[in-house]
């Protein structure tokens, strides 16, 4: 970190070290696997509560399993990895942020909708829907509707502007859920839909 002419500047510097030996020594010392996994994968798996919502939303894991109701740690859409004993989970792929995308802005046209669908699949979405039948409201999922991105097909809670890429909208949704949870002490749940 440098301070010059009243401005602080930081530089990230990669450090070389024998992380495999570090992980082995941690295991030998009997440290919890969650700490060892952080060394082995680079993904933060402990002390999530100390991170502000923006930083927490950028990582692979955002929640402790203990913050979720039973069954909320997965969205039930299939294709998910085998459940882990890991104490942390990703919001994306949970019941709070299912891997489902709706594109309900019919003004986009077929080519733009197909491009968005391809981008969504590349971002890990497993369901992409392009219409709601008979005016009914479908199950929760990130929605690109007229005027922007929303948390669900009811277009009730706006996530961001329509110009955002799918991945950006997904990250904003994660951040919004974490911010709301921090402010209220309870993570927001999807309401108003029953299969």
Pairing of strands 142-145, 148-150: antiparallel
Question: How do the domains of the chain map onto residue ranges?
Answer: 19-89, 100-184
Q: Over the chain, what is the mean pLDDT?
A: 82
CA atoms within 13 A on the CB side of 71: 3
Q: Tell the burial category of 94 from Cβ atoms under 10 Å away from its Cβ (0-12, 13-18, 19+).
A: buried
Please say if the pLDDT value at position 13 is more than 60: yes
Q: What string of DSSP letters covers 61-110?
A: --EEGGGS-TTTTS-S-S-PPPP---SEE-SBTBTTB-SEEEE--GGG-H
What are the tens digits of pLDDT across the range 14-53?
Answer: 888 899 999 999 999 999 888 898 899 888 888 888 888 8
pLDDT the model gives residue 82: 47
Listed in sequence order, the residues at least 6 apart from 43 whose beta carbon sits closer than 8 Å to its beta carbon are 37, 59, 60, 61
pLDDT the model gives residue 79: 64
Phi, psi (rounded to 5 degrees) for 155: 60, 30
Nearest to 127 by CA among 157, 93, 160, 154: 93
pLDDT the model gives residue 22: 95
Instruction: Answer for the pair 87, 93: CB distance below 8 angstroms, yes or no.
Output: no
Other CB atoms within 10 A of residue 104 CB: 17
Listed in sequence order, the residues at least 6 apart from 2 whose beta carbon sits closer than 8 Å to its beta carbon are 8, 9, 10, 11
Please say if the pLDDT value at position 115 is more than 60: yes
Q: How far is CA 38 from CA 49, 54, 62, in A?
A: 16, 19, 14
Please say if the pLDDT value at position 195 is more than 50: no
CA–CA dist 152, 139 (Å, integer): 8
Handedness of CA 131, 137, 141, 144 (dihedral sign): positive
pLDDT the model gives residue 31: 93
- Tell me the average pLDDT across 52-58: 87
CA–CA dist 113, 111 (Å, integer): 5
- Tell me the average pLDDT across 77-81: 64
Please say if the pLDDT value at position 83 is more than 60: no
């Amino acid at each position: 970190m440098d301070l010059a002419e009243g401005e602080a500047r930081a530089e990230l510097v990669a450090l070389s070290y024998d992380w495999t030996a570090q992980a082995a020594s941690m295991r030998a010392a009997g440290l919890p696997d969650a700490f060892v996994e952080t060394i082995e994968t680079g993904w933060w798996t402990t002390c999530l509560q100390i991170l502000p919502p923006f930083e927490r939303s950028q990582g692979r894991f955002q929640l402790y399993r203990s913050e979720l109701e039973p069954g909320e740690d997965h969205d039930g859409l299939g294709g998910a990895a085998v459940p882990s004993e890991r104490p942390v989970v990703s919001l994306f792929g949970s019941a709070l942020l299912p891997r489902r995308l709706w594109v309900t802005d019919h003004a986009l046209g077929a080519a733009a909708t197909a491009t968005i669908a391809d981008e969504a699949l590349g971002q890990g979405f497993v369901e992409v829907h392009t219409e709601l039948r008979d005016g009914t409201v479908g199950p929760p999922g990130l929605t690109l509707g007229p005027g922007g991105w929303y948390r669900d097909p009811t277009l009730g809670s706006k996530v961001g502007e329509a110009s955002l890429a799918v991945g950006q909208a997904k990250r904003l949704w994660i951040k919004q859920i974490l911010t709301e949870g921090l402010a209220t002490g309870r993570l927001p749940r999807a309401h108003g839909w029953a299969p």
